[in-house]
Amino acid sequence: MIKLVSVIGTRPQIIKAAALHRSIQSNFRDQLEEIIIYTGQHFSDDLSINLIDELALPSPHFHFELISENRANRIEEMNTKCQEVLHKEKPDFVIVYGDTDTTLSGTKAAVALDLPLVHIEAGMRSYNNEMPEEFNRIYCDQHSSLLFTASQTAYNNLIHEGFVFNKELNANSENPKVIQVGDVMYDNYIQFEKHIKKHSLDLLKSYNVDNSPYALITIHRNYNTDYPEHLNNILSGIHNYSLENKFKCLLPLHPRTKKALEEPELEKIKEKISNNPYFEITKPLPYLDMLSLITNAELIMTDSGGVQKEAYFAEKPCIILRTETEWTEIIESGSAVICDSDQVSIINTIQTFLAKKNLSFPPIFGNGNAANKICEEIISTHHNHKEINR
């Protein structure tokens, strides 16, 4: 039996881990054993713990209670706790996802104990070195044995950076293997698509959008929430268009954004939104509710990498509230536009997308079988390692 330890701590990582867990349980349970560490990076149950239940992940075998509020100290605390678990469990592979501080902490722990590292969603690049996520993903890629990419662009990024695999040797951190498998988040979308359609009608009625077009909005990145001017510009642009055109907007409110809206500089826009009958703020929503609302929306506006992709899966136009995106293919397809926090650009792009028909959504994220391919490659690599060391 091959032992895996998956390190997760945020909502997107739970979603990705759910696809891998489902694949293991359905097709590889006689070959793969999975241990789950939940670092507790997301403190909110609405963002993480409830999602574990919703996606039928087992309760984490290890659930950290973090005490550090400072980011650097929190990373070190997660690293230390991960090392303790990994030392005890002695897995054959450590699996990390994406580019969060949990990813970085799990990577550091695996490196410290000289354990093979698997990076799911490797090769993403924003080329914005001010993003903490950019450092995290590069550091993780540089220390991984198996790098699974979600898109061809991510694969190309790694090849251009010099990741070359020697087929005569087994994969390890000195001889990393890059494999394009597609996106495990798309696996989930395919898995739950029928449920989404069945679930949608009652949900849309509950938000009073069953008979009218609407936009779904998510904002949580620190460069939007930590800078009142950015957040004010974004919300003002959306509010102004919504009110003038009687266009409904739904904003599930991330805890970080909720806290930011308490700042005095944002008091006016908060009051305007509260008085806008077409603008509704909700608490963070369950995963399937979010997918249903994305699937039925006329337009998505987000600074989330995951929501950008989910909009693409659902073939919905997307306004990216950032200066860049890792998912450059969706920009190239014409289905998404970067607007950052510019009010005029946001309003103009809303108008353009709502008038535009026949957007293109080529199949760039695989065929919904990424998790199975990942499991097969892990098993193959483990067997090769045993053969080489006989």
Catalytic-role residue among 119, 220, 254, 382: 220
Largest CA distance in the chain: 72
Active-site residue flag, 220: yes
The DSSP bridge partners found for residue 207 are none
Contact 28, 22 (CB under 8 A): no
| Torsion on CA atoms 205, 208, 209, 214, rounded to nearest 10 | -150
Continuous segment of H or E residues that includes residue 117: strand 117-122
Query: Which residue, among 6, 111, 14, has the nearest Cα to 61 in the 3D structure?
Result: 6
- CA-nearest of 282, 255, 258, 283 to 270 is 258
| Cα angle: 126, vertex 131, 134; to 5 degrees | 55
Q: What is the dihedral of CA 360, 365, 369, 373, to 10 degrees?
A: 150
What secondary structure letter does DSSP report for 25? Answer: I
Q: How far apart are CA 369 and CA 374, in angstroms?
A: 9
Q: Chain-centre distance of CA 376, in angstroms?
A: 23
Active site residues: 220
